[in-house]
Amino acid sequence: MSFSVIGELLNTTRDPIRNAVARRQTGVIQKLVIRQQESGADYIDVNTGAGVQAEQAELHWLIDTVQAVATVPLCIDSPDPAVIASAWERLDRPPMINSITLEKTRFQPLLEQLQGRPCQVIALCLDDSGMPADVTETCRRAERLVTALTGRGIPLDAVWIDPLVSPVSTDTRNGPGALAAVAAVKQQCPGVKTVCGLSNISFGLPARRIINRTFLPLMISRGLNGALLDPLDRELTAALATTRMLLGDDAYCLGYMDHCAAEKVPG
Amino acid sequence: MSFSVIGELLNTTRDPIRNAVARRQTGVIQKLVIRQQESGADYIDVNTGAGVQAEQAELHWLIDTVQAVATVPLCIDSPDPAVIASAWERLDRPPMINSITLEKTRFQPLLEQLQGRPCQVIALCLDDSGMPADVTETCRRAERLVTALTGRGIPLDAVWIDPLVSPVSTDTRNGPGALAAVAAVKQQCPGVKTVCGLSNISFGLPARRIINRTFLPLMISRGLNGALLDPLDRELTAALATTRMLLGDDAYCLGYMDHCAAEKVPG
């Protein structure tokens, strides 16, 4: 297994972040960048989509502010290809792009700007008809995305397929469905990466963190290669360190032991 | 999925239990029976193996003491077929027997006493040469056990194969090995049940409870049907309730919601 943590905290749908971005509070933002990195984030997601009118200006400020302290790449998170297009020249290292879909307004515009630009790309199995109806449809969409992106020169292992996780609260088949989708995409498109927004699974239920940290090992064991998640959730990162060890990706258990020592885990 | 919890706490290798059994402290024992049942135990394991000389007498007292308050079957846990043989007439409902192995001293003696007796049987993939070397060997032993037990009239779904879990601390391949073994046994012997001693995986490492509660979802997702575990570990039982929900075995998420309500889970 290999697994990448995309730190999700810098999103203006979260009240403290919306306020910090609106007020240009550099310190608040940079502290969260550093804490996410220290807690194992491999990418820092930046999303200013809550500020409809201001999205682009806010994103530019946020990118500059984050990059001043970031030691890892950014994950540029917007549904608007024009907003993403406006960000490229500010970036000081190849980003992760979050995200392309098969929707008409996003597919071609994003494909065109990705050509020739080194980056990682999150590709959602979403088209204009909505969510995929089943695993077969998820795989069909994944293949279309993979074909299009690799056709534009994106390496296969830089394509991160998000099969789209729906809350188990709306349909209890969504848990098994998400697990099956990840496994199927990994099988159908060997070499591609898979990713999801981890906490989507727990929407609408109490004690969401318990669900998230139980879902993560299950998804990783099916082949999940990364997730947008909260790296400051210490029980979640403990589950991640433990999963790596249990799946045989932690020589001499050193990563797990380090995690225990660093977190003063009580057990 | 279906999953059974075998409450492991009444084992005289644990100091408080050794003392309580030695002093015949009925109240201490019965309280732990009730608490394990209330926390979801489907079987109550009783093991007096620490008291070498006294094993049989202690087991008899423990069985009588437990049965006075138990609403679920007992799991009679001894390596000694003679000790198990001495217990049958005391039992007021069909037990789980823990365990038969392929070792010469245990195999035939146990097989013979099982014939005609309704019970569940835990069958360890252990023979006189020791642990199985690989998954192929585990499956070969599982098949021998299944053939022998069903040949004596034990229903296939009353046979619980334990592929034997070794600590990840001694070899980091033991995690993937245990997961692969469960999956392979379920595939090779369709209809059989699988079981393990959950905490074996975490022996020798710090924060064992984190490892146990991360291992449980992974094992269940590969087909584990039961485990000896501590039902009073609330984070472990939360992981179990969540796993049931995430694997689609919790209509309307009611089991999960009940668990949250009962445990006042903070999330």
pLDDT at A1: 73
pLDDT at B53: 82
For residue A264, the SS3 value is: coil
Instruction: Give CA separation, A13 vs A47, A94, A251, in Å.
Output: 8, 25, 39
> What proportion of chain B, given as a percentage, has pLDDT over 70?
98
Contact B207 A245 (CB under 8 A): no
- Please check whether residue A264 touches B, CB under 8 A: no
> What proportion of chain A, given as a percentage, has pLDDT over 70?
98
- Please check whether residue B260 touches A, CB under 8 A: yes
Rounded CA gap, B138 and B140, in Å?
Answer: 5
Q: A169 or B1, which is more confident?
A: A169
**Burial of B91 (C-beta count, 10 Å sphere; 0-12/13-18/19+):** middle
Q: What is the CA radius of gyration of chain A?
A: 18
Contact A253 B215 (CB under 8 A): no
Contact B207 A267 (CB under 8 A): yes
Statement: residue B107 has pLDDT above 90: yes
Rounded CA gap, A206 and A195, in Å?
Answer: 24
Q: What is the mean pLDDT of residues A95-114?
A: 97
Residue B124, beta-bridge partner list: B162
Q: Give the minimum alpha-carbon distance from B234 to chain A in angstroms, rounded to a whole number.
A: 12
pLDDT-derived band at B51 (thresholds 50, 70, 90) equals: confident
Rounded CA gap, B258 and B243, in Å?
Answer: 14
Q: Which residue of B has its CA nearest to A172?
A: B248
Pairing of β A96-100 and β A74-77: parallel
Statement: residue A61 has pLDDT above 90: yes
Residue B55 CA, chain-centre distance (Å), reads 19
Pairing of β B4-11 and β A43-47: unpaired
- Please check whether residue B250 touches A, CB under 8 A: yes
CA-nearest of A190, A124, A112 to A152 is A112
Contact B207 A260 (CB under 8 A): yes
> Which residues of chain A are within 8 Å of residue B180 when distances are taken between CB atoms?
none
Statement: residue A218 has pLDDT above 90: yes
> What proportion of chain B, given as a percentage, has pLDDT over 90?
95
pLDDT-derived band at B264 (thresholds 50, 70, 90) equals: low
Nearest to A267 among B209, B217, B243 (CB): B209
Statement: residue A267 has pLDDT above 60: no
Residues within 8 A of B (CB atoms), A 37-96 only = none
Spell B195-205 as b/e; 16+ CB within 10 A means b: bbbbbbbbeeb
DSSP A62-115: HHHHHHTT-SS-EEEE-S-HHHHHTTGGG-SS--EEEEE-SSHHHHHHHHHHHT
Which pLDDT tens digit goes with each residue over B202-213? 999 999 999 999
Q: A265 or B235, which is more confident?
A: B235
Alpha helical stretches, state H, chain A: 15-22, 26-38, 55-67, 81-85, 104-114, 135-151, 174-188, 208-222, 234-246, 254-263
| pTM of the predicted model as reported, rounded to 2 decimal places | 0.96
pLDDT at A99: 97
Which pLDDT tens digit goes with each residue over B138-194? 999 999 999 999 999 999 999 999 999 999 999 999 999 999 999 999 999 999 999
* Cβ contacts from A onto B, under 8 A: 117
Contact A175 B248 (CB under 8 A): yes
B56, B85 Cβ separation under 8 angstroms: no
Please provide the average confidence, as pLDDT, over all residues in chain A.
96
Residues 6+ apart with CB under 8 A from A241: A250, A255, A256, A259
Q: Which residue of B has its CA nearest to A251?
A: B172
Phi, psi of A147 (to 5 degrees): -60, -45
A66, A46 Cβ separation under 8 angstroms: yes
Q: B interface mutation test: which of A165, A170, A211, A257 has the most B CBs within 10 A?
A: A211
pLDDT-derived band at A264 (thresholds 50, 70, 90) equals: low
Residues 6+ apart with CB under 8 A from B19: B25
Which pLDDT tens digit goes with each residue over B57-68? 999 999 999 999
Residues 6+ apart with CB under 8 A from B78: B47, B48, B49, B55, B59, B84, B98
Q: Which residue of B has its CA nearest to A243?
A: B214
Which amino acid belongs to residue B2? Answer: S
pLDDT at B72: 98
Nearest to A207 among B221, B248, B260 (CB): B260
pLDDT-derived band at B263 (thresholds 50, 70, 90) equals: confident
Q: Give the minimum alpha-carbon distance from B55 to chain A in angstroms, rounded to a whole number.
A: 32
> Which residues of chain A are within 8 Å of residue B175 when distances are taken between CB atoms?
245-248
